Structure 1
Amino acid sequence: MKLHLSAPSNTLFKSNIKITGSKSESNRLLLLQALFPSVTIKNLSNSDDAEVMQKGLQISNGIVDIHHAGTAMRFLTAYFASQPGKEVTLTGSQRMTERPIKVLVEALKELGADITYLKNDGYPPIKIKGQKLVEHKVSLPADISSQYISALLLIAPRLENGLELELVGKITSVPYIKMTLGLLSQIGVESSFEGNTIRVFPKDAIAPKTLVVESDWSSASYFYSIAALSEVGSEIELSAYKKDSLQGDSVLSEIYKSFGVDSIFKENQVVLKKVGSEIPEPIEIDLSNAPDIAQTIAVTCFGLGVGCHLTGLHTLKIKETDRLEALKTELTKLGATISVTDKCLTLSPSETMNSEIAIDTYNDHRMAMAFAPLALKTSLFINDAEVVSKSYPDFWNDMKALKIKVGK
């Protein structure tokens, strides 16, 4: 599906948007619910990834196809490895078979897991025979994707001896690790995080507990971008959000002050208010702790004619696509001057913006949504626009609610 986007007649917004529950929180809680059935979840994400996770957890034997869902691949690998009697083949899309899983598999094997690669060493598909994991000490490189780390932490309370996880080197995904530990704490699991060592203590059962998933801050980023590109005085109210969020991407509320957007927190809501119109100086941001908002920020900067230097982006090479190269290709088509390495992006200030350009999305939901706010500045096309269903199925309807012109 190819969509054509163009600006509304009025870019002074006064809107209310309700965003689905966080995909990251939802998938963590779904795994914990499978381990502790007394957990009840409210405001669960309606994303494809959460749906795939739910379906995967219901399978005991046979093939589990997680399509493009990287989080589900990592989390389900750990889950099935720790479940005696379950035997599955875990596979996914062509792109998923190119995304490495070896670091996690080797760590699980050290704990006693029985996992076999079916095609290429270190990559899905994999065959998993569930085992009782009795070892409790393992180490991982500290600079890998936090999903590998969280996968181990989530199964840890049901391991006979819990888990002691040593992270070797400089840790780059602390907010996502703290999110996982925070959710464990909310259901009564004890843990500690001192230096580079994380300990999770065993727990046989928990009392009935209802947890409400906060809405997704990554999804909120696109509305921050719209607010930044809108007229002074615009207000976009998003729910359901809280100031003391577990999500690392909540750093948006600080970052977007540079673009003239204030965040006003109310009960379960945040109001994005455009208060300034001055074009900021080129900005430098280390996004090691929030790489998923890099695409949004780069596009915002281009839309405002601002330069930026974004670092800490090494994990973007192994996402749904190589996000750094994809950003370079698509922003260049629009007229940007941009360079990337394996871990950073540099965008020069630009007054040029081409129109009627078709943005390719590379099977990546964030490419589609990150570029959509540019409709306030130029008309453009989004190819394979349905890819947004991976994390935010209602996205295009919410764009229409803002009166942004969305047509085929």
Structure 2
Amino acid sequence: MNTLEITPLDRPVDADVTVPGSKSYTNRALLIAALGEGTTTLTGALFSDDTTYMANALRSLGIEVEEVPEKATFVVHGKGGRIPVNGAELHIGGSGTCARFLSAFVALGRGPYVIDGIDRMRERPIEDLLKGLRGLGVDATSLNGTGCPPVVVNADRIPGGRTFVPGDQSSQYFTALLLIASYAMEDIEIRVEGDLASKPYIDMTLDIMRRFGVRVTNDNYNTFRVTAGQRYESRAYTIEPDATNATYFMAAAAITCGRVTVGGLSEDSAQGDVRFAHVLEQMGCAVSTDASGITVSGPQQLRGIDIDLNDMPDTAQTLWAIAPFASDPVTVTNVPVLRIHETDRIAAMETELTRLGVRVDARDDGMTVHPASQILPGQVDTYDDHRMAMSLALIGLREPGVILKDPECVNKTFPNYFDVLDTLRG
């Protein structure tokens, strides 16, 4: 297994940074483009493991997807809701978005479809989505009866109707159903059981659906209604930068008393994670936005914070990584969904921060990280989780001796992360 030692910065950051396109938007756009009739060109797109799995799966289903990586562009020749290949086995690696989105997408086809991935994917729950599909008349099951992949969909189009899905596990279940809903034979109504987690990701879904011509009625995140017969319009579409990946560079400014401007991002973005800049603002950073992007300037000393991150759980690891450098404890609550990601992210961060000599108090739904007088040098595991690697690397920007195992796991969403990180050195 490869390792990478992070060299500490020798001065405060002062940098303009460009991050790749949003993974969430890219995979949504690829699926929408496949559903449209005709050619859609996606620019500013992310090229990574997750988007490669999506593009390859669409090709396996008979949909032509062209790639121009040097121009960050996909060209998709949509089939108007038709899936040319009747039955297929799709391997989606460790991509949760692919597992969920494709499980719903293939229901529009005819024949048996199997969606499977790596060992960890076979531990990640998907039963609530399958329940939602069954409520719409789709034959969708977990092959091994575990409620996890492999998923088997014996497809014969989607009848439609009303279905119920628990809201506390993953907003991606709702996105999966919403993206394909207008192609059902009848109108679809999706009712949320309990409170819906990660609502900004639903906002992102509704935003891109609207931009491609499909409308959703959103009743206060309790019920979603989609009229059948609406169709996505093929078009040129630009993917905006990934707000979650931008948080690492904002955080680097925060812990070095420096400045970072992330280009191409706006506070008007439907990506909820752009609000991470204002979490840093509550901790003492200065934040400004203009036509060039979002700028974060770090204080002499970060303050602690107690915050509910249910709306942007993917930023929790970033916050925990910089927490040892705050003057007071940093507490993140209401993120139980982190336990069913690429790894149990709460347990993983507890283990690795403790390994570095940081005191932490983990709970079922979050964790408190205390200020650290020193960081112990050592190797840290990344758990084949891109966000573990990217967040833990931040500690190495401040303190020597932080060595990441398996740094290549960042290929999932940000293949050139460490190259961009190095640009902070000036």
TM beyond 0.5: yes
Residue correspondences, number: 397
The amino acid that maps onto 1:8 is L
Report the alpha carbon displacement of residue 204 of structure 1 after superposing the two structures with TM: 4.4
Q: Is the 8 A contact 1:80 1:86 kept in 2?
A: no
- Structure 2: distance between partners of 1:358 and 1:392: 21
What whole-Å deviation, never above 9, does each CA across 1:101-143 have from its counterpart, x for those lacking one? Answer: 1111121112121224332431111222222111321011122
Report the alpha carbon displacement of residue 166 of structure 1 after superposing the two structures with TM: 0.6
Alpha-carbon distance change, 137 to 35 in structure 1, aligned in 2, over 3 angstroms:
same
> Is 1:277 matched up with 2:278?
no
Structure 1: gaps of 5 or more residues? none
Report the counterpart of residue 386 of structure 2 in structure 1.
Answer: 365
Tell me which of 122, 126, 143 is aligned to 1:97.
122
Counterpart mapping for 1:239-258 below 5 A? 239-258=263-282
- Structure 2: distance between partners of 1:57 and 1:268: 35
Tell me which of 195, 215, 228 is aligned to 1:202.
228
Report the counterpart of residue 410 of structure 2 in structure 1.
Answer: 388
> Is 1:130 matched up with 2:131?
no
- Structure 2: distance between partners of 1:279 and 1:262: 11
Q: TM-score, normalised by structure 1?
A: 0.93
Report the counterpart of residue 76 of structure 2 in structure 1.
Answer: none
Tell me which of 260, 266, 276 is aligned to 2:284.
260
Counterpart mapping for 1:154-173 below 5 A? 154-173=179-198
Alpha-carbon distance change, 237 to 284 in structure 1, aligned in 2, over 3 angstroms:
same
What whole-Å deviation, never above 9, does each CA across 1:82-105 have from its counterpart, x for those lacking one? Answer: 22x353221000000011111111
Counterpart mapping for 1:313-328 below 5 A? 313-328=335-350
> Is 1:52 matched up with 2:75?
no
Q: TM-score, normalised by structure 2?
A: 0.89
Which moves more between the two structures, 206-215 or 388-397?
A: 206-215
Q: Is the 8 A contact 2:135 2:164 kept in 1?
A: no
Report the alpha carbon displacement of residue 368 of structure 1 after superposing the two structures with TM: 0.3
Q: Is the 8 A contact 2:32 2:232 kept in 1?
A: no
Larger RCO, structures 1/2 (Cα 8 Å, 6+ apart): 1
Q: Is the 8 A contact 2:285 2:302 kept in 1?
A: no
Report the counterpart of residue 5 of structure 1 in structure 2.
Answer: 6
- Structure 2: distance between partners of 1:241 and 1:403: 22
The amino acid that maps onto 2:293 is Q
Report the counterpart of residue 105 of structure 2 in structure 1.
Answer: 79
Q: Is the partner of 2:269 in helix, strand or coil?
A: coil
Q: Is the partner of 1:127 in helix, strand or coil?
A: strand
> Is 1:225 matched up with 2:247?
no
Q: Is the 8 A contact 1:174 1:289 kept in 2?
A: yes
Alpha-carbon distance change, 279 to 399 in structure 1, aligned in 2, over 3 angstroms:
closer
What whole-Å deviation, never above 9, does each CA across 1:156-175 have from its counterpart, x for those lacking one? Answer: 12112232111121222211
Q: Is the partner of 2:231 in helix, strand or coil?
A: coil
Which moves more between the two structures, 126-135 or 62-71?
A: 126-135
Q: Is the 8 A contact 2:36 2:233 kept in 1?
A: no
Q: Is the partner of 1:345 in helix, strand or coil?
A: strand
Report the alpha carbon displacement of residue 64 of structure 1 after superposing the two structures with TM: 0.9
- Percent pairwise identity: 31
The amino acid that maps onto 2:317 is Q
What whole-Å deviation, never above 9, does each CA across 1:379-398 have from its counterpart, x for those lacking one? Answer: 21000000001010110111
Report the counterpart of residue 377 of structure 1 in structure 2.
Answer: 398
Q: Is the 8 A contact 1:306 1:350 kept in 2?
A: no
Q: Is the 8 A contact 2:188 2:226 kept in 1?
A: yes
- Structure 1: distance between partners of 2:188 and 2:114: 25
Q: Is the 8 A contact 2:138 2:159 kept in 1?
A: no
The amino acid that maps onto 1:238 is V
- Structure 2: distance between partners of 1:246 and 1:116: 32
Q: Is the 8 A contact 2:188 2:225 kept in 1?
A: yes
Report the alpha carbon displacement of residue 206 of structure 1 after superposing the two structures with TM: 4.2
RMSD over equivalenced CA pairs, Å: 1.7
- Structure 1: distance between partners of 2:301 and 2:361: 25
Report the counterpart of residue 27 of structure 1 in structure 2.
Answer: 27
- Structure 1: distance between partners of 2:395 and 2:325: 6
Structure 2: gaps of 5 or more residues? 62-86
> Is 1:108 matched up with 2:129?
no
Q: Is the 8 A contact 2:94 2:121 kept in 1?
A: yes
Q: Is the 8 A contact 1:214 1:242 kept in 2?
A: no
